[in-house]
Chains A and B, each alone.
Chain A
Amino acid sequence: MASITITINGQKIPAQTGQTVLEAARTAGIEIPTLCDHPALKPIGACRVCLVEVAGQRALQPACTFPVADKMDVQTESPKVVQARKFVMELIFTERNHFCMYCEMSGGCELQNLAYRYGIDHMTYPSYVQPFPVDASPLHFLLDHNRCVLCRRCMRMCADLVANHTLDMRQRGAATMVQADMNLPIGQSSCISCGNCLDVCPTGALIDKRSAFMARDAQSEHVKSVCSQCSLGCGVDIVTRAGNVLRLQGDPDGPVNRGLLCQKGRFDSLYVERTRILAPLVRVREKQQEVDWAEALKAVAERLGRTAAPKLGVLASSHATNEALYLLGKLFVKELKAGQVGLLNQVVPALSKKVQGSLGDVLAGDCIVVVGADPVKDQPVASFFVKKAADAGARLIVVEDAESSLAAFAETTLGLREVRKAVDAAKAAQKPVVLYGTGMTDEAAKELKSLDGKALFIPLQPGVNTYAAVRFGLDRGLDSSGLEVLYILAGEQDVDGREILKKVGKAAFVIVQASYASALTERADVVLPMATWAERSGTLTSTTGVVQEVRKVTESQGASKADWEILSLLAEKMGKKLGASLDEIAVNAAQQLQ
């Protein structure tokens, strides 16, 4: 890279060799309109909206792909450029159905904005009226080919960032269409419903079914938060209108996911059909009765107060905020000295004491070893990074006894007993990265530890906030037999309550803090209704130990309260001072996490 000077619209600006005209212009604060270009994707010059006049060039050139050269003279809004740009837009407009008045994207459409900017008030060319099909086969979204401008952003997202290679183009010329696999309906294709193509579509071609036509861009609000569906801690942009969650989009500034989301995070979190618990319940003479919070908390506090520590058990779900898990640890482990403490999911141990890697490091790796984990199923966004690294030429070695969905993308698949082969391959590589999950055996862990200092280790914790739960001393393995009182923070986790209750004695007093009805809440003597992910603020710790803020975007349903608030009120009822406000608790929790 060498520093050069180019002239744009008569203004001399500095540029670097290797930059495109568009990059150089943006760096200098000069705006060139674009349509197919997207900050997260490689430019391909598909739409020709960014055409500029370059002195000495026979024809107009697309700024997004044209490299700068020293003393280059560029015009971005000359009459010739504007005429060509309007011509290009008119061709796009007349090719398919681009009538805005009944389009979901109107008001937030990049094509529409361009046409407004250049004052396109009528069409010079007759409309091409060939109708295209609408593919509504996916459960969560649809592809209306009639609204497509063939910018190929979805295709590039699918291939370059998600590394799934489902979307492609078929046919030529005016008949060109986006297709899934070899022309299958998307719902029957290799599509993994991550929905990242929805985030980059500039028009109304790819739209979310659930939120379609529910709000124009100007009517909706965007709140940056963090996904609560797995332990990765992906940044999400929660789109709401009047306090209702419309949809989730990837947060392009999310340090973990860099804008990518998966089906679990984007869609599943909004398609929950379980029954909510809306009021505190207390069992009176064999029957659960709705009571107010004061009565429910009194019943819990009173019972906890007269239970001997060894006979008290606490079981935590990792689907909870740092603040809730901190309070749970403080109240039950430190203060009440509960005899039995357990976590609802397994935990993977740290393989190194050094600072561990982040997902971004996977992309720089040249040998990726995945041990005892199936990120495709459990932490899908991590699998995008792994698949992308493999696409870029990194060796991908899957070490797993169970069936792994990553195996199809791997160079080699080994059994856990053969882990040494993977270790040898990693040792021979320049930048090896090891991702590991709960399937890793002790022997495999021992072998992998020999890579300490050489490889970056990225644990893939099951659950959500498992990292924090371990730090707050909640992972000790619970034996529920013989307990007199068991407090279960089930949260939003969809757990097999019957399995948990098997060893719980008939006479045991069970308190369940949960968002949804389950076998646990049916058995409970007291049920404390808990707010869900969109209804509470707090912080979450990612699988690599990064603390991030989650934000409340909608009012909690019924009488349900935030996970930490319930425990804070309970502590207060028991006369323990563990912090009164969210801020105070968050600070205390953060200190203990360091």
Chain B
Amino acid sequence: MAKVTVATDWLAACAGCHMSLLDIDERIVGLLDLVEFTSSPVTDLKHPPKEGVTVGILTGAISNTHNVEVARRMRERCKILIALGDCATFGGIVATRNLAGTDACLKRAYLEAESVVDGVIPGCPELGIPLDTVTGIGDVVKVDLYIPGCPPSADAIYFALSELLAGRVPVVLPAEHFKYD
């Protein structure tokens, strides 16, 4: 039987959710018999393959136009999309920017911070343009499974992947794997 393909990518995130994925520890070896991780930000291949994958995992919030592109590309290339972590599900820590406003945050960080000398707000055609409001990825693409948590526990991720492998859809996270912090 062909292995199930899984691709992960991150948006506006701290990498904590990917750390949690690695925290599955030695169980990940068993998982690799059944699953092929095609691409992720922590492997050599960064982008989900054009031919598509079965499961796409996104961590991080939608904070700029680049994040929107990455989210849409993953959605196009995967059958089941998982929003992993509080930023991907609710906006999380990144969404606190909404309380101050994007312009105020850029000004504070690049012009007014005590350590700044001759500050410039970065602007370059290659960079994504920050959005006015930070949101979870559900606001941009259709999400099939939400796993909140900051970060979600390795057990929660392992549980969700195991359920998907067993063909149990939709996945219902039991109470012990459900948390926001």
A residues sitting closer than 8 Å to B (CB atoms) are 97, 99-103, 106-107, 112, 115-117, 119, 121-123, 126-127, 129, 131, 146
Contact = CB atoms under 8 A, between A and B. Distances in A.
B57 to A, nearest CB: 15
A116 B146 contact: no
Contact of A129 (B92, B133, B138): B133
25 contacts: A97-B96, A97-B99, A99-B90, A99-B95, A100-B86, A100-B181, A101-B86, A101-B92, A101-B150, A101-B181, A102-B93, A103-B181, A106-B181, A116-B180, A121-B89, A121-B146, A121-B147, A121-B148, A121-B173, A121-B178, A122-B138, A126-B135, A127-B95, A127-B133, A131-B100
The interface residues of chain A, by DSSP majority, are classed as loop
Contacts of A119: 172-173, 178
A129 B102 CA distance: 12
Contacts of A97: 96, 99
Interface residues of B, number: 29
B91 interface: yes
Given A119-B173, A121-B173, 5 more contacts: A106-B181, A123-B90, A127-B135, A129-B99, A131-B99
A146 B99 contact: yes
Contacts of A99: 86, 90-93, 95-96, 180
Contacts of B173: 119, 121
A115 B98 contact: no
B175 interface: yes
Q: Most B CB atoms within 10 A — which of A106, A117, A126, A129?
A: A129
A122 B83 contact: yes
B60 interface: no
Nearest to B89: A122
Nearest to A115: B180
B143 interface: yes
A116 B178 contact: yes
Interface string B71-89: 0000000000001001001
B136 interface: yes
Nearest to B97: A129
A107 B139 contact: no
Nearest to A100: B180
Nearest to B90: A123
B179 interface: yes
Contacts of A117: 175
Contacts of B172: 119
Q: Most A CB atoms within 10 A — which of B96, B98, B139, B181?
A: B181
Interface string B159-179: 000000000000011010011
